[in-house]
Amino acid sequence: MSECKHVAIIMDGNGRWAKSKGYPRTQGHLVGTDNVRNIAIAANDAGIKALTVYAFSTENWKRSKEEVDYLMKLPFVFFKKFIDELMEKNIKITMIGEMSEIPKDTAKVLQKAIDQTSSNTGMVLNFAMNYGSRNEIVRAVNNILNDVKSGKEINVTEENFNDYLYTNNLPEVDLVIRTSGEQRISNFLLWQIAYSELIFTDVPWPEFTPDKFLECLDNFKNRDRRFGGIK
C-alpha cells in the first residue's frame, strides 16, 4: 500500500450545480470557493502533503468577461475569509501557472498569501491559476533551450526535465479526483500524472464534502499500484 502524498483536484460542476438550484453560475463558484477551504482542511488533517486545485485554466479565458472577472475575484474572497485559519493550520500556499497574465490586483493577493505562508511547514495548498499543462511543457522546453544558449551543458532526463516544471518542489501526484461526472483530464498536469490513480465522481464540486474526499482516499488505499512492474 503506497502513501498518498499529493492529491490534485479538477473542481468541476460549479455552473451546473448553481443552475440546478436556480442560482446564477457565479453562486456555484462562490460556494465552490468555500469548499476549497473545507477540502484543504480535511486533506491537511488526513496527513496529505500537497493538494493542487485547478482554479483557472488557460482555456477558461474563453468564458464571458463577466464570469472571468468573477473568477479572478475569488482569491480575494478566499484569502480574506480563510488566511487566518490556513496560518493556524500551518498550511503553505503556492501557485502554478502563468502569473504575469493574471490581473495585477489578483496576482498581488495571491503573492501576498504565498509570502505570508512561505515559512509554514504543513500541507502545501497549491492553486493552479492560469495553468495549462501543454503550456507548462512548452515553457519548460524553452527554458532548457535558453539555458543551453547561455552555455549550460544539459543532457535532458526525466529527472532534470521535472526541475523545469512549475511543480518541481512538489511530491509526485498520487491521486487525481475530478468532480461532476466528466471523465477527462482537460490539460491538467499531463506529465505529472503519468502514474497517478484517477477517481471520477458524479458529485458536483460544491457538494463534494470532506467525507466524500475521505472516501476517495480510502479508495486510493485499496488500489494496487504497480508503476508498470509486476508484484
Question: Which H or E run contains 108?
Answer: helix 104-116
197 sits near ligand FPP (criterion: CB under 6 A): no
Examine the residue annotation and report whether 12 is marked as an active-site residue of this protein: yes
Q: Which stretch binds ligand FPP (CB under 6 A): 28-36, 38-46, 95-103, 168-176?
A: 28-36
> Which of 205, 208, 213, 220 touches ligand FPP (CB under 6 A)?
205
- DSSP state, residue 63: S
128 sits near ligand FPP (criterion: CB under 6 A): no
Per-position x/- string for 145-184, each x denoting binding to ligand FPP as judged by CB under 6 A, each - no binding: ----------------------------------------
Q: Give the strand order in the sheet containing 175-178.
A: 92-96, 124-131, 50-57, 6-10, 175-178, 197-200
Examine the residue annotation and report whether 143 is marked as an active-site residue of this protein: no
41 sits near ligand FPP (criterion: CB under 6 A): no
What value, to the nearest 5°, has the Cα angle with vertex 59 and ends 173 and 107? 75
132 sits near ligand FPP (criterion: CB under 6 A): no
27 sits near ligand FPP (criterion: CB under 6 A): no
d(CA 10, CA 52): 9
Contacts of 194 (CB under 8 A, 6+ apart): none
- Supply the residues annotated as catalytic: 12, 60
